[in-house]
Structures are given as C-alpha cells and as structure tokens.
Amino acid sequence: MLESPDLQKYDISSLRGVVVSSYMISPEHKRRLQQIFPDTSNVYGSSESMVSMTSAIHSTEAQKTGSVGYPFPHMEVKVVGDQDEVLPIGKAGEVCSRGWFCFSSYYKDPEMTLKTKGMTGWVHSGDIGIMDNTGHIELIGRKDECVVFKHIGDKVYPSLIIDTANKHQAIKEAKVIGIEDSLIGHEVCLFVELHTGAELTKSELEEYFNEELLFLECPTKYFLIDVMPRVGARGKVNIQRLREIAIASMKE
C-alpha cells in the first residue's frame, strides 16, 4: 500500500486509520504508515488466535512502533522457554496464547492440533517475543528462523538485521535465514530484493551493515535477488527456496 503509485493521486484525508493484522512489519514501515494514517493500529495474531493490539489510549508512541501491542481483555498471553516454562519480563521466548478467540482444532488433524495446543490449550505461535511490564510484546523473529552462534553461545534474531535492511533506501524487502555450519553453528544469510531501478552491490550492502551493526550482529552471507520467491495463496516468502539458493551458493 505504501508503494502504490496511486497513493498520491487521490484525496485520502478523510481516511484516518489503518489496522495492520496478521503480519509482522518493521518499526520503519509503521512510522511511514502513521505519517499518512495517524490512527494506525497494529493487531497481532494468527489464523489460530488473535493475541494483542496497540491502542492510541494504552500504548505510547514507542510501543506503537516497537511492539505488536498488549493482550486483548479476553486473552491470556505468556512467553515461554524451551521447556515450556514461563519466562520473566524482558526475556525472549515463544509467545503463547489462550482464550475464547483461539481455534478449537485443525480439521481432521488431531496430531497437528496436539502439537500446536498441547494438553493445556495454550496455542504456541512459533514467534519469539519479549513482553514488557505493561504487557506489550515486541516480536524479534520466528522460532525456526532464529540462529545461534554455537562458538560464542549468542542468539542472533532476524528482526535487528531486517530492520537495518529496511532503513536502506534501495532495499524493498529483506529476509534472514540460518544455514547450519559445523564450525560456527549457523551461517546467517541475508536475502534482499531491491526497489525497481535501485542499484546496490553486494560489497556495498556488506559495508552498510558493517557501519550500522556490531560484527557479531551482521549477516555472514549476503544475497541480492531479483524477486523474492513466493509460495501459497497468501504469497508468503518461500523459506525453503531461499535455503536451497544459499546452500547451492556455499557449495560453489
């Protein structure tokens, strides 16, 4: 919507707000939306459950851009660790929810239902997030996309890299994946698609990240692709295809 060539062709002054749902967007894109639509709010959740929202009344400006909101009144939300233990405020873990809005089961798939909801009814989102002391949740990546440098024990989440990429004027979209490596734990691979007509070399991209982030926060591999591969009716980025591209490149 922000990139639409028709955005400036019409008088949209009467359209005050936009609700962004079921999609993780960067703080930079949220700021751009709020400049055009002042009452923009964010609703976070999946097809299985709607979890939280930002509010003009209950959220600060920083929380509107840096979080996906606080829990709905009818929802319970917790952040858990690898052993399903509830984590303290400010610690990263998987976001889980429970409430009447959550789905009852997958159609004719009890095995997948049990995997997602367990025996307690808590829906595991697969998203890694941090909750603050007001209940607002900051998303920092998908659980299966978080990569670990085993030689130093630190976790590198994709959100910092993606947010940094989105600040570059030439970059239209960015995606980060991790490829296992026997020496360092994972190769952190950044894929970027440029805006039409934009120019950016791989060395320029690497130099940009070295200036913006600490060494251990930077990707280890950079990929410039013409178009992000998509899959499914909703056009999600095809992570498996990105893995194939990265692995093939590393074998060359």
Going from N- to C-terminal start, the domains of the chain cover: 19-143, 146-251
Structure tokens at 120: 């307690």
Q: Confirm whether 19-143 and 146-251 share one CATH topology.
A: no
Spatial distance between the Cα atoms of 248 and 46, rounded to a whole number of angstroms: 33
Confidence of residue 172 (pLDDT cuts 50, 70, 90): very high
Task: For the chain, give the percent of residues with pLDDT over 90.
Answer: 57
Does residue 77 carry a pLDDT above 80? yes
Q: What is the pLDDT of residues 10-25, one digit of tens each?
A: 888 888 778 887 666 7
Q: Which fold has domain 19-143?
A: Luciferase; domain 3 (2.30.38)
Token pair 């591969």 in the structure block, residue: 229
Confidence of residue 151 (pLDDT cuts 50, 70, 90): low
Mean pLDDT, residues 55-66: 90
Structure tokens at 2: 């922000």
Q: What is the pLDDT of residues 197-247, one digit of tens each?
A: 999 999 999 999 999 999 888 999 999 999 999 998 778 899 999 999 999
Give Cα 1 to chain centroid, integer Å: 18
Name the CATH superfamily, with its identifier, for domain 146-251.
ANL, C-terminal domain (3.30.300.30)
Confidence of residue 143 (pLDDT cuts 50, 70, 90): confident
Q: What is the mean pLDDT of the chain?
A: 89
Confidence of residue 4 (pLDDT cuts 50, 70, 90): confident
- Quick one: angle between helices 202-212 and 158-166, nearest 10? 110
Does residue 72 carry a pLDDT above 90? yes
Q: What is the pLDDT of residues 94-131, one digit of tens each?
A: 999 999 989 999 999 999 999 999 888 999 999 999 99
